[in-house]
A = this chain, B = another copy of it.
Amino acid sequence: MLYLNCDYNCGAHPAIMKRLEETNFEYTGTYGIDKYSESAKQRIREACGDPDADIFFLIGGTQTNATVIDALLKPWQGAVSAPSGHINVHEAGAIEFTGHKVIALPNHDDGKIRPHELEEVFRAYRADESRDHIVEPELVYLSFPTELGTMYSAQELTAIHNVTKKYNGRLYIDGARLGYALGAEGNDVTLEYLAEHCEAFYIGGTKVGALFGEAIVFPHHGAPEHFFTFIKQHGALLAKGRITGLQFDTLFTDGLYEEIGRQADALAKQIPELFVKYDKGLLAVNSRTNQQFIIIRNSLLPQLSEQVRFEKWGAVDAEHTMCRFVTSWSTTQQDIDDLEKILATIAD
């Protein structure tokens, strides 16, 4: 069976496993106060070009979004998001659980925010004479890359940043798959860029080669007051915090984090090409990252499913289904070659 269904179905990058093994018997501080976490923070600060960045390690993406958004927002404020944003659709209401509204923008097939639509939300609030009866749009949430594998250019992000600043809002970027954006062909957004243009963002580890873990960056000493206690209160504090620190220390040594992204993206790119080559599917979304969405004839799905794990994303019409194929740190050229063999042989 060929596994292309997601990027968190295998263990960790071997470099991470090696260091966990090497350090296993050491005694260190707890709750993230230890030399490995400190080293990881230092490496991330360097990668972000921001020696003053406040950095915290959490465990998973939904947890990170809920903890950061709850800490950044005041009780009367909400988070603005694309309707397809992870916080709006796929976190079991974790943001609302903390008491905050997710304010959805108009929908677009690429899952991206449009600056002028964002501006309209900010403007309308300020123009509304009854705004004291309304949730204030304050935080702008976006995923980079998006839930559909698409990317923002630096120019696009700057436009969103500018609108946000114009209305004294804040920008928070969900980087669950950030490595796959950083490593993508044509990407011009860097960690330094994010540190200059966001109030907060997180560098995803779970989906980019770690056992688990997300690194939150608050540039320029921007961490919310008492953020450590927020982490504890949200149940997000790891006792043996060094385990997360050590993983990020490894990912940010010798450029491993971006290397994982680059390799997975390059492998992913071949997937739609193969479907087209063998006339077994069409590109659905123009993605340059590790998630590829392909429209496949339903009649092909049973044979394909016998040999490949992938995700059915939804019906396109009565005869076609949009399917998701995902690569990760563990995908190899051999896997892609195997996929080619399969595509060459299946038939309606």
Residues of A within 8 A of B (CB): 1, 3, 6, 8-12, 14, 17, 20-21, 23-30, 59-64, 66-67, 70-71, 74-76, 78, 89-94, 96-97, 99-102, 104, 130, 132-136, 206-207, 211-212, 225-226, 228-230, 232-240, 243, 309, 330
Contact = CB atoms under 8 A, between A and B. Distances in A.
Given A96-B99, A135-B92, A211-B243, A75 B230 contact: yes
A132 B232 contact: yes
A90 B233 contact: no
6 contacts: A9-B28, A132-B229, A133-B229, A136-B229, A207-B239, A234-B235
A114 to B, nearest CB: 17
B211 A25 contact: no
Contact of A90 (B66, B75, B134, B228): B134
Contacts of A240: 8-11, 206, 211-212
A14 B28 CA distance: 17
Q: Which of A12, A21, A135, A136 has the most CB of B within 10 A?
A: A135
A94 to B, nearest CB: 5
A238 B60 contact: yes
A240 B247 CA distance: 15
Nearest to A16: B24
Nearest to A130: B90
